[in-house]
Amino acid sequence: MRTVVPVFVALSIAAGIAAAQDTSALDLREKLEEVKGSVEGINEVLAEMKPALDALRKIKVSGYIQAQFQSGEGAGGWNGAATSGPASIGGFAGGSLPKDVASRFSVRRGRLKVAYDNDLTQYVLQIDVTQGGVGIKDAYVMVREPWMRTLSLTAGVFDRPFGFEISHSSSARETPERSRMFQTLFPGERDLGMKLEVNALEGFFSYVNLKAGLFNGTGPTANENDNAKDFIGRAGFTIPFQEINLSVDGGVSLYSGSVRSNSPIVYRKATDRDSSGANVGKYFDRQYLGADLQLFYDLPVSFLGGLSIRAEVIQGTQPATQTTNAFYSPGTTVTPLYEREFLGYYVAYIQNIGLSNQFMLKYDVFEPNANASSANVGAPGSFMNLGDIKFTTFGLGWIHHWDANVKFVAYYEMISNDKVFAGTTSNSLKPYVEDIHDNVFTFRVQYKF
């Protein structure tokens, strides 16, 4: 009996342990099944989410804000007179100054850009938000051929493919605004149309870039108003000299378009007035020929760094109006056309100082009527007016890159105009008998992401 009891107890304990092990094994299997089910559920969710995640990876959101303070020489820009007008700094410095105002704070640009890049196709929409409202800057689709990935088609609203400064982003440009000739000839920089572009990452076409397109010729926000289309094209090149840390880029550009006259009166050059009825509905040539060159050199001096020299020249024929030689789309407006042969150019020097600073100088000339002297503007027998005055701008500035997102820009423009006929009786021309007070200082803070 003494032997049976211990054996019975031992067997009972063993049985209990075995039962506990069976229970633990069962619990473990159940837990593993639960984990397996959870994993399979997660995989199903991920499989459902994958298309959305793949699409999100193709979306790129970027933008920048330029907040600035500006101070001009005179209220409204008129030699200190309390009125604004064509002489205002605003025409070429980001917006007209109101009456009696010589300084202002503003948001010059507030851009938000969304791009969907699907390898061979791209969708781009960019808006501009300022104190003046909301506007469209870019709205286009790009399609690239799949074989060599060298030829692409772009359609919508986008930069006109002319010269260097148009496509040089406002967020990267060292000066607050583009040169006077580009602001005059290409206001808004963009237009509605289609272009073909040949470019590649390697091979011959990595050193050559060809762009050609047809456009409405009405600007980025206006609908087409005639049957004519404008051709714009550029042939560009890049030549690297890596052994001496030098790169030379450049190109030649052509704009071939027309402007319809709704008026029988057309003025040519300085003194020719044509009032033939045949001019109504007739198209007059808008022709620009340009050349640009950019030199980039990395100085072998550690505290200075790289330098850049840029230059562009444009000459051609511009049908515009009496008071301005700007890009003109008449629509249904019945206004006499003024045909002028113009010349414009600029030279800019940018010097890096260390890793965070840049110094720059820029000389900019725009002569809207190259066939006449501004001294004859407003003279008896002359048909020339505000749109014929030559301007020269000298600018100097300092750029400080605070970090990868923020930069500060301080820029001063000294603007001089050729003096018009001293005895002019035109009230709008009288301020230009002398050099008007339209110099302007700009201090800008930019945040880019």
Question: One digit per residue, pLDDT tens: the chain, 449 residues?
Answer: 455 555 554 545 555 555 555 556 667 777 777 777 777 777 777 777 777 777 788 999 999 999 999 998 865 444 444 334 445 565 788 877 777 788 899 999 999 999 999 999 999 999 999 998 999 999 999 999 999 999 999 999 999 999 999 999 999 999 999 999 999 999 999 999 999 999 988 888 789 999 999 999 998 878 888 889 999 999 999 999 988 999 999 999 999 999 999 999 999 876 788 988 899 999 999 999 999 999 999 988 777 889 999 999 999 999 999 999 999 989 888 999 999 999 999 999 999 998 899 999 999 999 999 988 888 998 988 889 999 999 999 999 999 999 999 999 999 999 999 999 999 999 889 989 999 888 999 999 999 99
For residues 189 and 176, give the distance between their C-alpha atoms in angstroms, rounded to a whole number.
15
Is the domain of 37 the same as that of 80? no
Is the domain of 28 the same as that of 163? no
Residue whose pair of structure tokens reads 């190259």 in the numeric block: 370
For residue 86, being part of any structural domain is answered with yes
For residue 57, being part of any structural domain is answered with no
Residue whose pair of structure tokens reads 């725009």 in the numeric block: 366
Is the domain of 40 the same as that of 84? no
Is the domain of 150 the same as that of 34? no
Is the domain of 280 the same as that of 131? yes
Is the domain of 437 the same as that of 316? yes
Is the domain of 111 the same as that of 139? yes
First to last CA, the chain: 90
For residues 261 and 339, give the distance between their C-alpha atoms in angstroms, rounded to a whole number.
11
Is the domain of 76 the same as that of 225? yes
Is the domain of 28 the same as that of 80? no
Give residue 5's domain range: 1-52
Is the domain of 40 the same as that of 77? no
The encoded tokens of residue 249 equal 């880029």
**What is the CB-side half-sphere exposure of residue 276 using CA atoms within 13 A?**
7
Q: Domain total for the chain?
A: 2
Q: How distant is the alpha carbon of residue 109 from its chain centre?
A: 11
For residues 415 and 442, give the distance between their C-alpha atoms in angstroms, rounded to a whole number.
14
For residues 286 and 325, give the distance between their C-alpha atoms in angstroms, rounded to a whole number.
11
For residue 421, being part of any structural domain is answered with yes
Q: How many CB atoms lie within 10 A of CB 286?
A: 22
Is the domain of 108 the same as that of 128? yes
- Strand pairing of 283-298 and 208-215? unpaired
Write the CA distances from 252 to 89, 234, 312, integer angstroms. Answer: 31, 6, 10
**Residue 311 belongs to domain with CATH number:** 2.40.160.10
pTM (whole model) above 0.75: yes
